[in-house]
Amino acid sequence: MISFVRDGVKIMSSNMHIKLVAINARYTHSSPALFYIRHELEKHLNSPHISLHQFSINENYHEMVLRLGADDPDAIFISALIWNSDIVERLVEDLSSCLPRCQLVVGGPQAQIIADKVGENCTVVVGEIEGIDPAFYQALQGGSLEKRYRGHFQVVREEGLASIYRQEDFAEYLQNRQIYYETSRGCPFACSYCLSAAEVGVYHKPLSQVQEELDLILAHAPKTLRFIDRTYNDNWRRGLAIWKMLMEYDCQTLFHFEIAPDFFTEEIFDFLKTVPAGRFQFEIGIQSTNDPTLDAICRRMKTEKVRQIVSRLASYSNIHLHVDLILGLPYETRETFLRSFEDVFAMGAHYIQMGLLKMLPDTPLFQQREEFGYVASKIPPYSVYQNSWLDADAMADLYWFCECVEKFLNNRFFVSLWRYLQVTGEFVAPVFLDILHIGKEEGLFERATTQELLSSILVKWASGREDAVFLRQLLRYDWLRLGHKTFPEMLLPVGEETLLQTRDRLYRQMPDDLEGLYVKRERNRFFKRTVCWSCGPELLDFLQLGDGQYDCLCFVAEREESVHRHQRVYCL
């Protein structure tokens, strides 16, 4: 073997043919892991021929094997995660048979699990590829890899993270895909259910490097750039500096961040108020508002402070807020879980994701599973079925409750309806339990989830309430804000002016020119494209539209600059 030293690194002479493989949850996703692996291979090997292959879990498996087996590669690296673990296991089995001389290397969060099942057919890398011993590359070149290697996070903290993307990647590997980017690695928290609990410390890229990398990425105007920092704002001054940096780019990219409310300051709030709608999206992991639960999972958090911060962010109406709760955590009973939901709903977040706890191997909570009475699946995604606080029936009931919330709340269909419940202070857990009961009777979980189906269920739910008439008005308003031109049958007003009649009346009554809406030459076009509804003063008063002298809403053919991008509405 011929070797030489370049920039202090021993380089093996090689023209190895190496394929890097990711199996993503969706076609539109991408895998930054492949780009990090490519960088490390090119750093330690001399001129390897490397190709990246990104599949989705829904692709034809046989064709996947054929594509990976073509051209007789010397090595194949595969990224193993919860959602693709079963496919990776099959690939290792089949590729080891089809390509007996090819070295198979598996990394990622599920690498050790793959090793436990099919380890005789592959090499696994546990931990950071950047932190692996250089002997790994010598063995790779010599075809003598051991069965297991570990990459150490400490090396990342000492040596930093590379810039992994190139100009040509955006026209090839990243075209029409979401782009993932990290400005830091590691997490300041050590939640016991999370794989990051084993890591110590956080590494932050220099701001100059972040600026250079953003210049490259944003020059290609991606639709979405997802920052995958575990806690983006753990250093709030640095996080704010990058946010300000992003606002200097002339692009319409949506930036997604995972943030912790623990690190907010007045300076941050002052800046966030100025961010244009539709540019920032925050994912906030609250998980629970039950203090014994938070203590058990090592997630220290001041619930009241979180409530104030999320509510304040929601009041700005320019940043999409995605809040996480987890079903099945220790010490979380049915009552405390529903109370956590009540607490988070009152904060005004736009999306409440209530995921089922995954009992991930190699986490502290996994080691406590017997102590806490957990029964969970032994195969990915390791979903829990019961614990000491929720038996199987209670866990199942709450699971369907979460699915009901997902279908009715986590979209832009019924924004004013949920706002009404927030304003009135009604306990919403019983509301969703009632909706769930009706939904099951209507076959909600066996049918396509359309706004019409969901509206019909809500009409039935509202029918027995004292405010049923007003709730129907809210449902009609929400329906028209989505751009519909007519009401569905269940929302048709009885004995009232129709939408066409209202439009014709306004056409006759309105002046030739109406400042802010139309000029004379565009008047006909305006009314032709506008939906007009005589809704009455009670709804207008709740919506804080008009000044009491008008009773009609006009839904024009343009979108609001807001989180939900509803139709723009005027009062006439």
User: In the 8-state DSSP scheme, what is residue 248?
Assistant: T
**Cα atoms found within 13 Å of the Cα of residue 254, Cβ hemisphere only:** 14
User: Looking at residue 2, what is its pLDDT?
Assistant: 40
Q: Which two tokens stand for residue 460?
A: 């039935």
User: Looking at residue 495, what is its pLDDT?
Assistant: 85
User: In the 8-state DSSP scheme, what is residue 282?
Assistant: E
Residue segments in the chain with a per-residue pLDDT below the cut of 50: 1-6, 10-13
Angle of helix 428-441 relative to helix 392-408, nearest 10 degrees? Answer: 90
Residue partners of 46: CB distance under 8 A and separation at least 6: 4, 11, 12, 13, 14, 15
CB 280 within 8 A of CB 324: no
Each residue's pLDDT tens digit, 533-560: 999 889 999 998 876 667 899 999 888 8
User: Looking at residue 3, what is its pLDDT?
Assistant: 44
User: Looking at residue 124, what is its pLDDT?
Assistant: 96
Burial class (CB in 10 A: 0-12, 13-18, 19+), 97: exposed
**End-to-end C-alpha distance for the chain, whole angstroms:** 82
> How far is 376 from 373, CA to CA, in rounded Å?
10
Each residue's pLDDT tens digit, 151-180: 988 777 778 899 999 999 999 999 999 999
Q: Which two tokens stand for residue 452?
A: 């019409």
User: Looking at residue 4, what is its pLDDT?
Assistant: 43
The residue type at 223: K
Residue 19 in 3-state DSSP?
Answer: strand
Each residue's pLDDT tens digit, 105-141: 999 999 999 999 998 999 999 999 999 999 999 999 9
DSSP states along 298-321:
T----HHHHHHHHHHHHHH-SSEE
pTM over 0.85? The answer is: yes
User: Looking at residue 201, what is its pLDDT?
Assistant: 84
User: Looking at residue 200, what is its pLDDT?
Assistant: 74
Spatial CA neighbour of 135 closest among 125, 347, 185: 125
